[in-house]
Structure 1
Amino acid sequence: MKNYQIETILSTNRKPKPDSAHLEFGRTFTDHMFIMDYTEGTGWHDPRIIPYQPISLDPSSMVFHYGQTVFEGLKAYLSEDGKVFLFRPDRNFNRLNHSNARLCIPQIDEELALEALKQLILVDRDWIPQAEGTSLYIRPFIISTEPHLGVAPSENYQFIIIMSPVGSYYKEGIHPVKIAVEQQYVRAVAGGTGEAKTGGNYSSSLKAQEVAEKVGYSQVLWLDGRENKYVEEVGSMNIFFKINGQVVTPALNGSILAGITRDSIIQLLKHWNVPVVERRISIDEIYQAYKDGVLEEAFGTGTAAVISPIGELLWKYEKLVVNSGEIGKLTQELYDTLTGIQNGTKPDPFGWRIEVNPENTAKDMHSGSLIY
């Protein structure tokens, strides 16, 4: 491993930690953050861990005007015997660079990013909640900071990692949610930024989400932006259907985010010899499967919720109740297995789980500049 020089400035004003039984998603943040700067001609420089604090930016910073920003989401888990685990973090930083390429943001050193994250977790290790179903949510993101009102790639950026103790993403928890099929708005189109994890994709989804919530639905099922007939994503998650014994998920097509949980579910199903296929699937096919009685299960996947079972779809004013509104057997098995791998209670035959080892990482921390 490279000898990364990461300066660490420890906070002298530690915040009270929230009750693990009453965690709101993304509301409370740990004592420290990681930050690194980019300057055209110099590259990425000055990686450092500092006390969590506001960011000071010029009002003309390009991120405010042209939306040149990307982000990621992953979690750290505390095992029953006190070990700290990350789940496939290399894939997150690899995907961050994929998003960078689409938004004309300079590539980051993925090994440095992972090492910085490990060090940040060790600094704020006591923020990882211990209650069942809880974890430490991690948000790496990059913003364009050049003060310039011009439509062009920025010459300055900041790469930042913040962390937040969280419980279940949905108030329903692992219980099935109700989803409205969106017929007016679209999330993304092939050739756009749908396969990148950038803020604009999410702000454009808010209106449909608002409409769905007003009629009692938790999220929306997005259809493609060209023909408005092929299933793409559900809310901010990838989606799976179990139809007549086979699991089907929309194929990646340039407008669908390549979810890490999505890929993990596909690998798990193949490992179990459960038929699984990635292909285009229309909402009409889903409706026909429902009418034929072979739409057996449906669920969304993502870092925040892990797996969110779907108990009902609203399509053209008709309610499609899936599996009597109950969580399906396969959905439950997938959730139990994946969360068990993540928190260390189940075997990990894929090598996905990475321990954040204080002894190994401490060596790298002390090789840098530590300021107390």
Structure 2
Amino acid sequence: MPRGEPADLDARNPEMLVASEGESKGYWRSVWRHFRKHRSGMVGLVLFTILSIIALGGHLLAGGLPIACRYKGTVSFPAVVATFHKIPGAKYVKDMPKPFRFPQFNAKREVPKDPEGWAVWPLVPWDPNEVDPENRLKGGSDTHLLGTDEVGRDILSRMIHATAIAMLVGFISMGIATAIGLVLGATAGYLGGWNDIGISRLIEVFICVPVFYVILIVLLLWEPGIYKVMIVMGLFGWTGIARYTRGEFLKLKNLEYTMAARALGATTPRVIFRHLLPNSLAPVLVVVAFGVAGAIFVESGLSWLGFGVMPPTPTWGNILRAGFDNLRVAPHLIFPPSIAIFVAVLTFNLIGDALRDVTDPRLTGSA
């Protein structure tokens, strides 16, 4: 090839410098336009929004800390600060106001004693681990809308705070899986050759590994914990993402805009991250959506078996287990976690199905 040809290509086709970026933006606008017309997908998106609000605003919806209060002449917002503390590192930015930071301080008992004090409480004024010994295994009432468990803890409060655990497990585990899958899939698809062969064989090996039993083994060898569950699910849940990414890169790397970018001197990282990756994410998002649903289901199963998040931390799985253990005397405990697990899994399956439909040109008519 003559040395002047890349420059000539640049002079003749300057629009190729921005073609892939424009195509990517136009493609995602088209995906969103079709997604908005997808009824079940929008239902899933609404349910996802509701779950996210519950997960992020758990302390504002249920808990023993007031949203706003005046105590000993000081106005503070303990529940708001507790919500802010969900952000990693936020505890170092803003401390919980005194005396609400002390575990032995009972705000529900002490704030009303202050003659000048007042408080705005959450909708469910019960901490998820607060015990009401006079109302054990009670059904729904004005005091406890969904009843109480075997030690007198409010079920609705525990369900609200368990939502954050479920969402955290789903997104962190799939975040780890997505990072691994994108790197390995992009490497295999773009570089090809022995890289493709080696990574493809590695994918086949990991596909054969039963993830659920690996998690059980890890939790039997080490102390059970939520982060161990998320890490193991992430380390073994990347195969589908890697396969789809590899397939998309094999298809896209020989298209005109990719060849033009290489001819104009774009480095390999720039070609991958600027031109190929944005246009290959759609099928990956489908896998991620289904993966989040699967992760929530797996965590609930592990907690039900006693290998997941340990009580008294509330999860849908251990609430369901408590209901199963007391099925004859308190059948009301079974229904809230069962419905929550069903709704969460359904939510991400609806989103995954919708993404699969709107990214398929045969179904959208954009082929």
- TM bin, normalised by shorter chain, reads under 0.3
Higher strand residue share = 1
Give the structure-2-normalised TM-score.
0.26
Give the structure-1-normalised TM-score.
0.25
- Larger Rg over CA atoms: 2
